[in-house]
A and B are shown apart, each in its own frame.
Chain A
């Protein structure tokens, strides 16, 4: 698939813990078209997060080919992978993972420290990202002063600020109440539909998965089913 932003071919992932070898992913093949919003579902231990890590360039496959945003990740070293992540991927975590000692604006600026932008430009871009996610008025607040939903919006702004090709979200609503979760999911949907961001989201929540344009189910390291749903 030529317009695939994510393409996996015969991907295996095996973890070795002491003398034990655990097969987490087996002969996985997957294509995600550019501009897609994919929800990755499945029981605990099915390999969802491992697959997300491979797509996000946080981990390397034991075997197979992984191409994301036109780059063969399985051919990159750790340094090159870090640079690639900085350019192409925005990450959103379940527990926000914001720096507690930095203000929302400083948190959002973090990915921009790896660019050549000036301090003023970094600040302007961070404020623009915070405005996009609807939380510019809390720019000076630290994570401890924000609600869960607000903190997750800041985390999304941080993921967006460097204008990545792909957003990778690991249980982004797992720590939020229904209302906040829906707000965050609407935000992700808006980013996908109006800004064309490709999104891969791991979730246990079927309601959250309904916001995606496509759902993938995993079990025991394999993709069981792929379908296209109307969100």
Chain B
């Protein structure tokens, strides 16, 4: 700590340069924080059917290919399967394509039995839902977002499913109740969800009748999930609709990867950002140490050893990078609510920001080490020769 004032003063020796370097690094770490948070959110999906006792069965070749509804009975008969329900991807938005709604046609009994500990719905509203064929249960966050009220009739535009009666893509639902996630950590995942009756969907659509998007299973013993998955898939092996059963968490990941390898894209951007940052900061540090050669020589003259001089330069690099990281990551943390607006249904965690500090330390070592070594090896006589 006694060297801190010296390192701090040295860092601000050229204020303008330090401020501009710091600003560019803050922007880089802000970008890092945002991208890392999004990457983390996609890699660690929370909420929904992601419990350890949940399995998802999809078409083996693509989750965009459907499965026959008739598979339900066979899956239900598999030892270890406590409940099975079926769902299809509705692909909906409200009024404008930017107003995404995670609308899911579900079978009421089996779906709420499978997810019985996950939703808070009043008995009265659940009863109204059961009794209303065009009824919908809507997450209260979504209600608030669009200003909906119970009793409203809302049209949703499906990007896939035309109606049998008129070929329209617009489906109308009666909001009969709202729900919330029991587990607060799943609130983000459910924030855009609207549930409606599978029967209405299946009978109303102009194609695909009798097919489902995927099955969800609840198993009696989570430790047997692997074996149960194998048994389910074995049932449909060599059939026209072979299946792939996996833990719900893996399914959520695969679902998101429909949009491309998000992690790869984000890491590629981060890589480019830090590669640029390496040159920028590295150049600044080299220049700074070059300018201070006589001062470093004086420190060595009065008894600072090679290691101490090396440590001072590394310390300066660390200080610069960590300050930039703390400011940049704090800004990206402050931006989390804004990011959430653009990523409905994805749970963002501040945990994702922690690697930023690690990245800052790594960056500091990479950019600080070459000038530090140069400073450590400095020949006093040569360095002082120009300025004694």
Interface residues of A (CB under 8 A from B): 49, 53, 56, 58-59, 78-79, 82-83, 85-87, 90-91, 93-95, 97, 99-102, 106, 110-111, 113-114, 119, 122, 158, 170-171
Interface of B is mostly: helix
Distance of A100 Cα from B13 Cα, bound (Å): 8
Return the CB mask of B359-388 against A: 1 if under 8 Å, else 0: 000000000000000000000110010011
The residues of A that contact B300 with a CB separation of less than 8 Å are 82
In B1-40, the 8 Å CB interface with A consists of 2-3, 5-6, 9-10, 12-13
Q: Are A53 and B381 in contact (CB under 8 A)?
A: yes
Given A59-B381, A93-B384, A95-B387, A86:B9 Cβ within 8 A = no
Contact sample, A vs B, 20 pairs, CB 8 Å cutoff = A49-B388, A53-B381, A56-B301, A58-B384, A78-B305, A79-B306, A83-B303, A85-B303, A86-B304, A91-B301, A91-B302, A95-B387, A97-B298, A97-B387, A99-B6, A99-B298, A106-B9, A113-B6, A114-B308, A122-B2
Q: Are B305 and A79 in contact (CB under 8 A)?
A: yes
Closest beta carbon of chain B to A10's beta carbon, Å: 21
Chain B: interface residue total (CB-CB under 8 A): 26
Closest beta carbon of chain A to B387's beta carbon, Å: 6
Distance of A106 Cα from B294 Cα, bound (Å): 18
Q: Tell me if B299 is interfacial: C-beta within 8 Å of chain A.
A: yes
Closest beta carbon of chain A to B294's beta carbon, Å: 6
Q: Are A97 and B295 in contact (CB under 8 A)?
A: yes
Closest beta carbon of chain A to B341's beta carbon, Å: 45
Q: Are B302 and A86 in contact (CB under 8 A)?
A: yes
Closest beta carbon of chain A to B180's beta carbon, Å: 56
Q: Are A85 and B388 in contact (CB under 8 A)?
A: no
User: Considering only CB atoms, which chain B residue lies closest to A56 in the complex?
Assistant: B301
Q: Are B9 and A114 in contact (CB under 8 A)?
A: no
The residues of A that contact B381 with a CB separation of less than 8 Å are 53, 58-59
Given A97-B387, A99-B9, A110:B380 Cβ within 8 A = no
Distance of A86 Cα from B298 Cα, bound (Å): 12
Q: Are A99 and B302 in contact (CB under 8 A)?
A: no
Q: Are B388 and A86 in contact (CB under 8 A)?
A: no
User: Considering only CB atoms, which chain B residue lies closest to A170 in the complex?
Assistant: B388
User: Considering only CB atoms, which chain A residue lies closest to B380 in the complex?
Assistant: A58
In B291-315, the 8 Å CB interface with A consists of 294-295, 298-308
Distance of A58 Cα from B384 Cα, bound (Å): 10
Q: Are B304 and A114 in contact (CB under 8 A)?
A: yes
Determine which residue in A86, A122, A158 has the highest number of CB atoms from chain B within 10 A of its CB, and name it. A86
The residues of B that contact A113 with a CB separation of less than 8 Å are 2-3, 6
Q: Are A101 and B2 in contact (CB under 8 A)?
A: no
Distance of A56 Cα from B381 Cα, bound (Å): 11
Having A95-B388, A102-B9, one finds 18 other A-B pairs with CB under 8 Å, namely A58-B301, A58-B384, A59-B380, A79-B307, A82-B305, A83-B303, A85-B302, A91-B302, A97-B294, A97-B295, A97-B384, A99-B6, A99-B10, A101-B9, A106-B9, A110-B6, A113-B2, A113-B3
Q: Are A93 and B388 in contact (CB under 8 A)?
A: yes
Distance of A37 Cα from B233 Cα, bound (Å): 96
Distance of A58 Cα from B381 Cα, bound (Å): 7
Q: Are A119 and B2 in contact (CB under 8 A)?
A: yes
Closest beta carbon of chain B to A173's beta carbon, Å: 13
The residues of B that contact A122 with a CB separation of less than 8 Å are 2
Q: Are A97 and B3 in contact (CB under 8 A)?
A: no
Distance of A106 Cα from B3 Cα, bound (Å): 11
Given A85-B303, A113-B6, A158-B302, A101:B12 Cβ within 8 A = yes
The 10 A-B residue pairs with the shortest CB-CB distance, nearest first, are A86-B303, A82-B305, A101-B9, A97-B298, A101-B13, A85-B303, A111-B302, A93-B388, A58-B380, A59-B381
The residues of A that contact B299 with a CB separation of less than 8 Å are 110
The residues of B that contact A111 with a CB separation of less than 8 Å are 302-303
Q: Are A101 and B387 in contact (CB under 8 A)?
A: no
Closest beta carbon of chain B to A143's beta carbon, Å: 11
Distance of A114 Cα from B300 Cα, bound (Å): 11
Distance of A44 Cα from B163 Cα, bound (Å): 100
The residues of A that contact B380 with a CB separation of less than 8 Å are 58-59
Distance of A145 Cα from B273 Cα, bound (Å): 41
Closest beta carbon of chain B to A113's beta carbon, Å: 6
The residues of B that contact A110 with a CB separation of less than 8 Å are 6, 299, 302
Given A82-B300, A101-B12, A94:B388 Cβ within 8 A = yes
Distance of A59 Cα from B304 Cα, bound (Å): 15
In B105-138, the 8 Å CB interface with A consists of none
Distance of A79 Cα from B311 Cα, bound (Å): 15
Return the CB mask of B278-294 against A: 1 if under 8 Å, else 0: 00000000000000001
In B195-242, the 8 Å CB interface with A consists of none
Closest beta carbon of chain A to B363's beta carbon, Å: 24
The residues of B that contact A170 with a CB separation of less than 8 Å are 388
Distance of A170 Cα from B13 Cα, bound (Å): 26
The residues of B that contact A94 with a CB separation of less than 8 Å are 388
